[in-house]
Amino acid sequence: MDYGVYLEQYEVLGRLEHALTHRLPYSLVRVGDGENLVLAQDGVWPIQEVLKEPWAMKANKGLKGTFLPNLVLRDQLIASVKKADIVGILPYDDMSIKAPVHLKRMLTDSVFLHYGITPSALCHACINREWAVSSRFWDLLRGRRVLLATAKPKPIRNILATWPYSIKVTQTLVVERYEQIEETLKQVEAYANSFDIALFSCGVNAVVLAQQTAERTGKAALDFGKASNILLQGRAN
């Protein structure tokens, strides 16, 4: 399927820099295998088929930040992907994540078609992994106030405070599960005057949080994903 303009990493960062410089809202979200499965629930795929997938089984053991079925989250994802400034998707020949092929771009196309999702700007869904090791990305954030939301933000905050990052994390939020979305957004709004950009590493919930943060606060917000694991461990998995 054809969507909007496809952006390379430097173009994504160029748009981010423009938003930060001019204090404009900016949201980037990413759609991978987990997001595809949540989106596919009871529309593209029957719930029973979704629940057979290993990702869903892990989710229902408390390992993915939500339990399935969750049709409310599905609808929140649809709304946020439609509103986001840039949407990361996987290429057809993706080899960057280990998920089965049927959960990758083919399923993205199916859910986008079903829900009428037509992003105006796209990038690679794994751009977050490039950010983790990109000097330009960290140069762009240096001097900005960062809000970090993830399951264990303090170790990442400590790493970012050191060279070669030297990033000022002004707020941290612990986010581990879907049920925290609304409370997290209230906290984000309360902290709106103390950050310039928000980074969310909290699974599929990050899609809703990043887009809604940009919409509610007028700030930049990124679905940071497993980039936090790279910072902590030097690898994405």
> pLDDT tens digits, the chain, 237 residues: what are they?
678 899 999 999 999 999 999 999 999 999 999 999 999 999 999 999 999 999 999 999 999 999 999 999 999 999 999 999 999 999 999 999 999 999 999 999 999 999 999 999 999 999 999 999 999 999 999 999 999 999 999 999 999 999 999 999 999 999 999 999 999 999 999 999 999 999 999 999 999 999 999 999 999 999 999 999 999 986 444
pLDDT for 3 equals: 84
Question: The pTM is what?
Answer: 0.96
CA distance 26 to 46: 34
30 forms beta bridges with: 88
Q: Which residue is associated with the tokens 């949080």?
A: 209
CB-based contacts of 111, cutoff 8 Å, min separation 6: 36, 39, 40, 43, 44, 117
pLDDT for 236 equals: 46
- Which of 78, 102, 114, 85 has the alpha carbon at shortest distance from 204? 78
- Which of 99, 125, 116 has the alpha carbon at shortest distance from 43? 116
